[in-house]
Amino acid sequence: MNSAMNSVSSNVAPSGSSGAATGGIAMIVILLLLLVAVVACIVIYLVPTIVCIAKGTKRAWAIILINIFLGWSFLGWLGALIWAICEPGRKKRAQRLAEQKEKEAQQRQMMMQQQQILQQQQQILQQQASSVVNNVNTEN
């Protein structure tokens, strides 16, 4: 009788251990999914920070502080995201500066051309005035 009970209990033990192994695997899968969900939430929470750092915005520190301290409210997060998107990055600032320098160079060139035109007009007026004086002197 003892041998029969031992064989029954030995038959039950493997099926119970396989259930525990399946439960352990399920627990590991659930924990991994939970970890992935937490990481995804953190990444989504920090999207404004990631955007402003990637763009190289001038006021990145302000956007990061707003995102960290006010991002828990949807309005704070949305405000930080809009600011990060709308704030010009390094490339746009550099492009704007280059355009401004180009405009200034064009303005200087136009001013130089206007000065040359004025000088030519003054020379023409002086020549005309001297010819008028010569004509008056020759008539007298």
Q: Could you tell me which residue, 140 or 14, shows the higher pLDDT? A: 140
Q: pLDDT tens-digit profile of 9-65?
A: 444 444 555 666 788 899 999 999 999 999 999 999 999 999 999 998 888 999 999
Please, how many CA atoms are within 13 Å of residue 107, restricted to the half-sphere of its CB?
6
The pLDDT value recorded for residue 5 is: 46
The reported pLDDT for the residue numbered 90 is: 75
Residue 102 CA to residue 98 CA, distance in Å, equals 6
Please tell me which residue, 78 or 129, carries the higher pLDDT value.
Answer: 78
Is 0.85 surpassed by the pTM of this model? no
- Helix (H) or strand (E) run with residue 89 in it: none
pLDDT tens, residue by residue, 69-85: 999 999 999 999 999 99
